[in-house]
Amino acid sequence: MSLLELKDVRKSFGAIEALRGVKFSVDAGSAVALVGDNGAGKSTLMKTITGVHRPDAGEIRFDGASIVGKDPGRIRAAGIEMIYQDLALARMRDVASNIFLGRELTRSVLGVKFVDTNRMRNEAEAMVARLGARIPSVSQMTGQLSGGQQQSVAIARALTFNPKLVIMDEPTAALAVREVEHVLDLIRALKKDGISVILISHRLTDVFSVSDRIVVLRQGQVIADDATRDTSMNAVVAHIVGAHSEPAS
């Protein structure tokens, strides 16, 4: 059984049909790349999966249960984490504070709760070590880190929720080649831990490097859904630009 399954998902904004019967699935421990031109419907689809938008029609099931109509907090609690392209980090705070941002660990002294800074740093160090992330210290200001290191912090923060699925929006955009490979290694580490990944990316070399399947979205429809080993970069590009425009069955 698939971890995430979408059937005939539709979403319109006035006269604009953003999603037109989208169908695809994600198996546990696999990475599915979602590619397509700007305006293809990728952002709308991710916001629909994470509960920001409610679909007009169709079914979205996660871990066997419908998540249609659930708010983003409940969907996150069910095990879906989204890492946006801007990462949403507090760059003037240290790494540990960012990993626990909004859900700080506390301790009680004479009935009064205080933020447990030492525990947060210890657990942040454990999370960074689990990822194999190249972060010098969890006490370092996040804004002083490189782009790849900041992406590592965002992934570590997502893992504090113990997710089953992590959605990553353009995680390697604007990174140097060396940092790109590190982020791809992090995606491989998530898969190895049994965590599924939806990778949204324009960088097809990255997509072919880490994905198990590639789903091409065009004008709100799934045009192709192929195992990575069974397709090619030329074929994916042809689908993206519309050279093959029949929706996938």
Average pLDDT estimate for 26-41: 95
- pTM equals 0.89
Of the pLDDT bands very low, low, confident and very high (cuts 50, 70, 90), residue 131 is confident
Does one domain contain both 156 and 167?
no
| Domain edge (last residue) among 162, 179, 198 | 162
pLDDT, residue 202, reads 93
Does one domain contain both 185 and 239?
yes
- Give the model confidence (pLDDT) of 165-195 as tens digits: 999 999 988 788 888 998 999 899 999 999 9
Q: What is the CATH number of the domain that holds 195?
A: 3.40.50.300
- Give the model confidence (pLDDT) of 136-149 as tens digits: 999 999 999 988 89
Does one domain contain both 170 and 71?
yes
- The residue range of the domain holding 119 is 92-162
pLDDT, residue 26, reads 97
| Domain edge (last residue) among 111, 135, 162 | 162
| Number of independent structural domains in the chain | 2
Does one domain contain both 2 and 29?
yes
Does one domain contain both 168 and 247?
yes
- Give the model confidence (pLDDT) of 42-99 as tens digits: 999 999 999 999 999 999 999 999 999 999 999 999 999 999 888 889 999 999 999 9
Of the pLDDT bands very low, low, confident and very high (cuts 50, 70, 90), residue 249 is low
Does one domain contain both 186 and 241?
yes
Give DSSP secondary structure letters for the chain.
--SEEEEEEEEEETTEEEEEEEEEEE-TT-EEEEE--TTSSHHHHHHHHTTSS--SEEEEEETTEE-TT--HHHHHHHTEEEE-TTTT--TTSBHHHHHTTTS--EEEETTEEEE-HHHHHHHHHHHHHHHT---S-TTSBGGGS-HHHHHHHHHHHHHTT--SEEEEESTTTT--HHHHHHHHHHHHHHHHTT-EEEEE-S-HHHHHHH-SEEEEEETTEEEEEEEGGG--HHHHHHHHHTSS-SPP-
